């Protein structure tokens, strides 16, 4: 899954109705109807932010708005909690799985900027992974949730970062995943970095080590094994 275009308003991440519908595998009309039927459950400022007048005009000037919304007189933007209510209304497996993904990699992505940062450096031997096809993943979102839980249990924080030259990076107890990657790629990168965290935790500076290429190859083999095991496990659920 490709993350939607990032939209921020009043210091928080939000999504348009069209963006949220596309993420959930639904359509804008369904979300609008759910909103109308459950209007009393939605609280302005908590679940959604309505824009109109000069505020809406300013928003349109700052963001490339969907063509069908260009002439809208009012625009509803959904917060993390609003996205949750829409997931409840749809009540599909995809909506719930995507909601979890959006929370971790979209709505709360900014939290990584206040935590100790994973600074991007020039590609190094330990970061240069051989280009290869991603392992088969029948349910990548569930696999990602398992990997995030593994990271949490090990005390590792995972955030998305706008890296330019690398897809992921491990530094201390932080793993950064490039913001624009697909969910399948995020799974593999997280498995790869976790492999380093588990296998080479006492290897010192892996980047400058003369064994960096060996470390890299070991992490690649471990990540491939992890993905295959998880894929088999998920197919049996």
pLDDT at 208: 47
Q: Is 198 exposed, middle or buried (0-12, 13-18, 19+ CB in 10 A)?
A: middle
Q: How far is CA 212 from the centre of its chain?
A: 28
pLDDT at 89 over 90: yes
Strand partners, 45: none
Tell me the pLDDT tens digit for each residue of 17-47: 999 999 999 999 999 999 999 999 999 999 9
pLDDT at 58 over 70: yes
Query: 3-class secondary structure for 129-144?
Result: CCCCCCCCCCCHHHHH
Write down all domains in the chain, each with its CATH number in brackets: 7-107 (no CATH), 118-235 (3.30.2010)
Distance separating alpha carbons of residues 213 and 27, to the nearest angstrom: 47
Q: Is 120 exposed, middle or buried (0-12, 13-18, 19+ CB in 10 A)?
A: middle
Q: Which residue pairs from 58-67 have beta carbons closer than 8 angstroms and sit at least 24 positions apart in sequence?
A: 59/9, 63/5, 63/7, 64/5, 65/16, 66/16, 66/18
pLDDT at 119 over 50: no
């Amino acid at each position: 899954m490709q993350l939607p275009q990032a939209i921020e308003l009043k210091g928080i991440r939000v999504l348009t109705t069209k963006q949220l519908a596309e993420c959930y595998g639904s359509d804008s009309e369904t979300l609008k109807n759910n909103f109308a039927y459950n209007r009393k459950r939605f609280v302005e400022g908590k679940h959604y932010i309505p824009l109109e007048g000069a505020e809406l005009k300013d928003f349109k000037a700052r963001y490339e708005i969907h063509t069908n919304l260009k002439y809208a007189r009012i625009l509803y933007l959904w917060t993390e909690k609003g996205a949750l209510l829409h997931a409840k209304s749809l009540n599909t497996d995809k909506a719930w799985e995507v909601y979890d993904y959006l929370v971790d990699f979209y709505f709360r992505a900014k939290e990584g900027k206040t935590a100790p940062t994973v600074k991007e450096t020039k590609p190094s031997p330990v970061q240069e992974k051989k280009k290869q096809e991603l392992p088969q993943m029948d349910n990548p979102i569930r696999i990602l949730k398992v990997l995030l839980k593994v990271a949490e249990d090990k005390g590792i924080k995972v955030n998305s970062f706008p890296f330019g030259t690398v897809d992921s990076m491990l530094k201390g107890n932080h793993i950064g995943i490039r913001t624009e990657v697909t969910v399948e790629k995020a799974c593999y990168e997280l498995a790869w970095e976790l492999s380093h965290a588990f296998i080479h935790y006492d290897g010192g500076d892996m980047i400058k080590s003369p064994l960096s290429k060996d470390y890299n190859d070991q992490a690649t083999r471990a990540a491939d094994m992890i993905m295959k095991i998880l894929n088999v496990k998920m197919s049996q659920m």
